[in-house]
């Protein structure tokens, strides 16, 4: 028996199945509790906006940290260059 290699990675399959279980649970609770469709839509939209805001803030934070590290590298390179030229002029004398 030959095993077929899946097109999706294990992490992707787990993520998709987790989302489907969450949606099914939310649907079951909304049916059981008789939550109005408008209230459920409002909850889903606000949750989606919250997660998008978290993603944007994380992206901005990572970008800021990377920019700071690049600036540090540029500054340290500029500081090292004058020292090297002064050492070279001393050696020539």
Domain ranges for the chain: 10-92
Buried residues in 79-89 as b, exposed as e (16+ CB within 10 A): eeeeeeeeeee
Instruction: Check if the beta carbon of residue 58 is closer than 8 Å to that of residue 48.
Output: no
Which pLDDT belongs to residue 4? 72
The pLDDT confidence band at residue 91, using thresholds 50, 70 and 90, is low
The predicted-structure confidence for 28-69, as pLDDT tens digits, reads as follows: 988 888 888 899 889 889 988 999 999 999 999 999 999 999
pLDDT above 80: residue 92: no
């Amino acid at each position: 028996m030959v095993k077929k290699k899946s097109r999706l990675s294990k992490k992707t399959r787990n993520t998709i199945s987790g989302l489907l279980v969450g949606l099914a649970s939310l649907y079951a609770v909304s049916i059981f509790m008789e939550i109005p469709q408008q209230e459920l839509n409002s909850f889903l939209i606000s949750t989606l906006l919250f997660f998008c805001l978290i993603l944007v803030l994380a992206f901005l934070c990572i970008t800021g940290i990377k920019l700071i590290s690049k600036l540090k590298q540029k500054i340290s390179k500029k500081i090292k260059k004058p020292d090297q030229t002064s050492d070279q002029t001393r050696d020539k004398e």
